[in-house]
Structure 1
């Protein structure tokens, strides 16, 4: 047995002593054993709402976790009994932070039971969600600075902002919006789990810890909703900027058409007489046409510039 395997086994034993049994989706044999011993099917419970059966309070929770430099949605099912807390993680590592905190407390000599372990895990998940929203907020601040610089038509590098740049920022904001929405949903499920824990445990058990955790969860939800509003404002700014870019494109083509239509008409009318060539009878005719063509191009351009349509 390797050193890592020995350490994992030791950690698992310490968690069991504290009343926490961690399971993972790929452990079919252990899931079958839990179903045989306790009568609960955690795989089925992950797709249902909170229920009480076979002496367990089964609570599914959807979470947002940071794995491999990106955020992913995952699911954890908690089964709280009188003698054990069973957790089923869809992706391994989801509850590693809570596991480390509990192991440190066990090694420090602090005693725990299943209910207190669940409280510790929910508190850890709320802290993780807070870190997620904080990182999203920092990214939004950077995106907001990019939007502000793009509003002037140029980025920091001096390159003119194009439609592709705006579309890329819109796509990033859409990803951030979806992530914030899923985080808010996760906070709602964590808050529901805390309320269930408060319902089955006496108020003297945790004192003000449970109400404080509920208050923290609701505060984080409001903070996430504020970030969602910030995303909407940035999206609206980008869409307005995109409309202005499209209007500028239309304006450029309109100006080009207005400038080159008169000389085109002059040249067309002058060359319509195919029976006789006027250039042959008027030595200065070709130069007159050149001057007239130039004037017909400059005068509309001067008028458009005076009106300020080229700004």
Structure 2
């Protein structure tokens, strides 16, 4: 599916078949969503440039994601998606500057593209300013990335309160509750990790864009690219800080799981120590040998019961003095 965005944010669909009519000069953004082979060939005919396939976007080497071929500039970045569904993923998006237009090739629907398409009508972008379209699109992507980090910070803070808050201190929690917290922590750890990977690609892309002559000669675009680059750097540092907090929370939660397991083992140890002396006495007098004087003693049974109770009480007192419980 190919969508054409004209000056003022007007959106039209371009059929993949039919005569290759020239694109209007007012077309500033060409968005190709999951294009077919026919779509790719049709757009290559209209633009006069080669477009990267899905395999090329996916398998391209990180060192070769940004290059210029003729009058076209090719760039690739990884964008975070599926954040609202709890399973963050990265999708590779191709950005091509050709004939004064921005061409995007994507095989997924990250939210920033929907947001940017809605805001395009209010932006001051004229014909032939594809680099400015790219700068504003990157700004939208960075803003969405900041929202993702804010979401992760809020969720992690809630998990931290649930794990270490005032209401849970000294309370025994079932293993299922701690396992649920660990799953939540791992989910947001994945989200922040994917966000950091995306920011790395965006940082390299913004650096490459700022070095383009068409960007250096356009002061508004140059200034916006500089702001975007600064925001990416700030978000990268913030993502690293959030990642370290998540790692600490994960280690602490695992420590609580170990404490709960140690408490269970301590309980078994206490029970074993308390019942060991009585079981020893019961075992001795349960052997029923002929030459055991106590077997014929009138008070042998109550004496054995008292001895077992006393040894159990002494074991409990000794364990309490040691601080076991």
Selected match of 2:193 from 175, 181, 184:
181
Q: Quick check: 2:142–2:232 contact (8 Å CA) kept in 1?
A: yes
Q: Deviations over 1:25-49 (max 9, x none)?
A: 2433212223444223342441322
Q: Quick check: 1:61–1:186 contact (8 Å CA) kept in 2?
A: yes
What is the aligned-residue RMSD (CA, Å)? 2.7
Question: What TM-score do you get using the length of structure 2 for normalisation?
Answer: 0.82
What SS class does the counterpart of residue 246 from structure 1 fall into? Answer: helix
What SS class does the counterpart of residue 268 from structure 2 fall into? Answer: helix
What SS class does the counterpart of residue 38 from structure 1 fall into? Answer: coil
In structure 1, distance between residues paired with 2:295 and 2:31: 100
Residue in 1 that maps onto 2:11: 11
Q: Quick check: 1:166–1:242 contact (8 Å CA) kept in 2?
A: yes
Q: Quick check: 1:153–1:161 contact (8 Å CA) kept in 2?
A: no
Residue in 1 that maps onto 2:69: 53
Q: Where does the alignment leave 5 or more consecutive residues of structure 2 unmatched? A: 15-22
Matched, 1:20 2:29: yes
Matched, 1:39 2:50: yes
Selected match of 1:69 from 85, 95, 99:
85
Q: Quick check: 1:21–1:85 contact (8 Å CA) kept in 2?
A: yes
Q: Deviations over 1:128-147 (max 9, x none)?
A: 00000000000010011012
Selected match of 1:202 from 216, 234, 253:
216
Selected match of 2:301 from 274, 286, 308:
286
Selected match of 2:120 from 86, 91, 102:
102
Q: Quick check: 1:263–1:293 contact (8 Å CA) kept in 2?
A: yes
In structure 2, distance between residues paired with 1:134 and 1:274: 77
Superposed, which structure 2 residues align to 1:125-274 within 5 Å? 125-149=141-165, 152-154=169-171, 160-200=172-212, 201-202=215-216, 204-206=218-220, 207-274=222-289
Distance apart, 1:179 and its partner CA:
1.3
What SS class does the counterpart of residue 278 from structure 2 fall into? Answer: helix
What SS class does the counterpart of residue 273 from structure 1 fall into? Answer: coil
Q: Where does the alignment leave 5 or more consecutive residues of structure 1 unmatched? A: 155-159
Q: Quick check: 1:60–1:78 contact (8 Å CA) kept in 2?
A: yes
Q: Deviations over 1:208-233 (max 9, x none)?
A: 32222111110111111111011011
Q: Deviations over 1:97-151 (max 9, x none)?
A: 111111333xxx7525111100110000000000000000000100110120386
In structure 1, distance between residues paired with 2:299 and 2:217: 105
In structure 2, distance between residues paired with 1:90 and 1:13: 17
Distance apart, 1:256 and its partner CA:
0.8
Question: What TM-score do you get using the length of structure 1 for normalisation?
Answer: 0.86
Q: Quick check: 2:203–2:232 contact (8 Å CA) kept in 1?
A: yes
What SS class does the counterpart of residue 97 from structure 1 fall into? Answer: helix
In structure 2, distance between residues paired with 1:10 and 1:84: 15
Structure 1 segments (4+ residues) deviating >4 Å: 13-16, 276-280
Distance apart, 1:51 and its partner CA:
2.2
In structure 2, distance between residues paired with 1:166 and 1:20: 49
Instruction: Report the more deviating stretch, 184-193 or 196-205.
Output: 196-205
Residue in 1 that maps onto 2:106: 89
- Classify 1:179/1:86 alpha carbon distance in 2 versus 1 (closer, same or farther; 3 Å): same
Residue in 2 that maps onto 1:29: 38
Residue in 2 that maps onto 1:157: none
Q: Quick check: 1:39–1:54 contact (8 Å CA) kept in 2?
A: no
- Classify 1:13/1:19 alpha carbon distance in 2 versus 1 (closer, same or farther; 3 Å): farther
